[in-house]
Amino acid sequence: MMPITPKNIVRHELIGLTTRVKSATNKYLTNIKGLIVNETYNMIEVETKKKVVKVMKRGTIFIFYLPSGKRVEVDGNLLVGRPEDRIKKKLPRW
């Protein structure tokens, strides 16, 4: 399996990564930080210190913390879709 890099993160498994919500259409979700515990078509579930929070992918900017220590900012609109389909689909380079 290929290691996660800033270039391939959108096509990679996100569960297990630490993330922070940089901005969201729902302002209450901004700056939520925690571990990704589940991912569905439209949602990412983030486990914070207190609870599991469901965050919509569409309209949200995420910062992912890679195992290598790098931080990657990703537009949630690129993540919309089932994880298993997203891994296969062609995505624009950024």
How high does pLDDT run on average in the chain? 90
Residues 3-31: what's their mean pLDDT?
A: 92
Q: In which band, very low, low, confident or very high, does the pLDDT at 44 lie, cut at 50, 70 and 90?
A: very high
Q: Where are the domains of the chain?
A: 9-86
- What superfamily in CATH does domain 9-86 come from? Ribonuclease P/MRP, subunit p29 (2.30.30.210)
Residue 28: DSSP 8-state: G
Q: Say what the pTM is.
A: 0.89
Residue 89's pLDDT is what? Answer: 66
C-alpha distance from residue 68 to each of 10, 45, 48, 53, 55 (Å):
16, 22, 21, 25, 24
